[in-house]
Chain A
Amino acid sequence: MVEKKHIVTAFDEDLTTLNDMMARMGALAETQLFASTEALIARNPSDLDDIIKRDKELDDLEAVLNEKVIEIIALRAPRAVDLRRVIVALKVASTLERIGDLAKNIAKRNKVILDTTLKTQTLPSIRTMTSMVLKMLNQALDAYIDVDALTALNVMEADIEVDKLNTVVFQSLIEEMSYDPGQLKIGPHLLFVAKNIERIGDHITAIAEQIYFLHHGEMPDQDRPKADRSSSIALS
């Protein structure tokens, strides 16, 4: 969607600033998520401390972005696509902040996991899940800047595969814990790590829905199939 420039150039500058802030938040959320899983794979607990500390930066960026949105609404009285852009910015920023919270939670759990001997076979799958949601996040952030509804729909589709993989990881972890009770020390944390990544996928899907709304002025009406079956799995 190519938009003409506003007559009041300061309005365009405000919207550019908003996009820049969003890009910074998005990049930080990506980094946090990537680093939280990589530190587990590389068995590097000091990186996890950095992730936990850095979460505040994301909180602070969200606060600044909120102020900017309020300023734009008060001073520019945005209408139509401009109004949608600032409202969507508010919601996407809030979602990115939550993704940051989940990445921080993953980091905290990974610290506990790294204190023990890892015997699980699920790490490659958890790493794959992270790669999948990182790709979704990257595409969603580009689609936000370009107001690209088609890419947003693709991002929503991609979440189904994340859900499926989470179900597989859940099943595997339950089985590992049943065969080796020693795994009970870290198994629940790994379950939450996988679940957090799956939740991040859901949040990115919510961002994609907002991008669709930004473009079309209405929410996508399709009923998205849910592929996360972990909530109905019991030990057999």
Chain B
Amino acid sequence: MKRDGDMMLSTPKIKSSGIIVEYDGKRALHGIDLDIYPNEVTALIGPSGCGKSTFLRCINRMNDVIDNCKVSGRLMIDDTDVYDPEIDVVELRARVGMVFQKPNPFPKSIYDNVAYGPRIHGLTENKDDMDRIVKKSLKRAGLWDEVSERLDDKALGLSGGQQQRLCIARAIAVNPDILLMDEPCSALDPIATSIIEELINELRERFTIVIVTHSMQQAARVSQKTGYFHLGNIIEYGETNDIFTRPQNEQTEAYISGRIG
């Protein structure tokens, strides 16, 4: 069930129409229709295996790397058909950054982690420009003050929360429009989680953010829209405030109030 209301007032950044995903012929998503709006955080919630991460990975075609995975339907980012055979997937993934559950910095220096994307995408050859990109990205990720004096240190020497913010800096260094986050705080302690959540709120001014989370409190805290997935369908999608106070669908109600797992 969807509530359109004021959603109709702005143009969606991401428009999913009838997206079906099959693994070895078995359906994981049954035709997802979902409009995701710019400069908002959209949280996808639902029990394990409901399809929320599968849907997230459709947005930047991460499912392409899985054997026997077939995606059909239409997924638009602005005017770009993501599943157009002509599309350059590397370019798409620069436009749609992703942050994963476990911080996964490269075994390189802090500087090189952030510079990696701009280098391979050829954003600049100039050292000064690269320094600026690295600094800007680390600042936006809220990490600059903690690492500015040790940019050549190994990234793996950072704490878990710092590593995750470094991964966010790495993702935004190539100037994406969209940030996908797949349970970005599940490996972090509550303090590091709060810092990331505050960062997500700041980042939404520049990016469209889609976050998959198992923590309903986190979805409630960081998002403006929430979609509830169950058994490969989107059951309810609407303003986060409505979903958590008066959901319209009984299944959503049961899930968010802890009545089904």
A residues contacting B by CB (< 8 A) are 3-8, 11, 77-84, 216-218
Complexed CA–CA distance, A162 and B247 (Å)? 36
Q: Whole-angstrom distance from the CB of B43 to the nearest CB of chain A? A: 14
Contacts of B85 in A (CB 8 A): none
Interface positions, chain B 207-261, Cβ under 8 Å from A, are 216-217, 220, 244-247, 253-254, 256-261
Set of chain A residues within 8 Å of B220, measured between Cβ atoms: 79
- Which A residues touch B254, using CB under 8 A? 4
Q: Would you list 19 pairs from A and B whose C-beta atoms are within 8 A, ordered by A residue? A: A3-B259, A4-B254, A5-B259, A6-B258, A7-B258, A7-B259, A7-B261, A78-B257, A79-B245, A80-B244, A80-B247, A80-B253, A80-B256, A80-B257, A82-B257, A82-B258, A83-B245, A217-B246, A218-B246
Chain B residues within 8 Å of A11, by CB: 258
Instruction: List the A side residues contacting B253 at CB < 8 Å.
Output: 80-81
Q: Is the CB of A79 within 8 A of B256?
A: yes
Contacts A80-B253, A81-B253, A83-B245 given; does A4 touch B259 at CB 8 Å: yes
Q: CB-nearest residue of chain A relative to B243? A: A80
Distance, CA A175 to CA B217, complexed state (A): 62
Report if A7-B217 is in contact (Cβ < 8 Å); known contacts: A80-B244, A217-B246.
no
Q: Is the CB of B217 within 8 A of A77?
A: yes
Q: Tell whether, in the assembled complex, residue B246 and residue A80 are in contact, meaning their CB atoms are under 8 Å apart.
A: yes
Closest approach, in angstroms, between the C-beta of B220 and any C-beta of chain A? 8
Find out whether the CB atom of B260 lies under 8 angstroms from the CB atom of A80: no
CA distance A147 to B260 in the complex (A): 21
Bound together, the chains give a CA A8 to CA B258 distance in angstroms of 7
Provide the bound-state CA to CA distance between A3 and B254, in Å: 8
Lowest 6 CB-CB distances: which A-B pairs, in order?
A: A217-B246, A4-B259, A79-B256, A82-B257, A80-B257, A6-B258
- CB neighbors of A among B51-109 (8 A): none
Contact status B257-A81, CB under 8 Å? yes
Closest residue to A83 on the B side, CB-wise? B245
Q: How far is the CB of B238 from chain A (nearest CB, A)?
A: 13
> Closest residue to A218 on the B side, CB-wise?
B246
- Assess A217 versus B245: contact at CB under 8 Å? Given A77-B217, A79-B216, A81-B253: yes
List of A residues within 8 angstroms of B257 by Cβ: 6, 78-82
**A8 to B254 CA separation, bound complex (whole angstroms):** 13
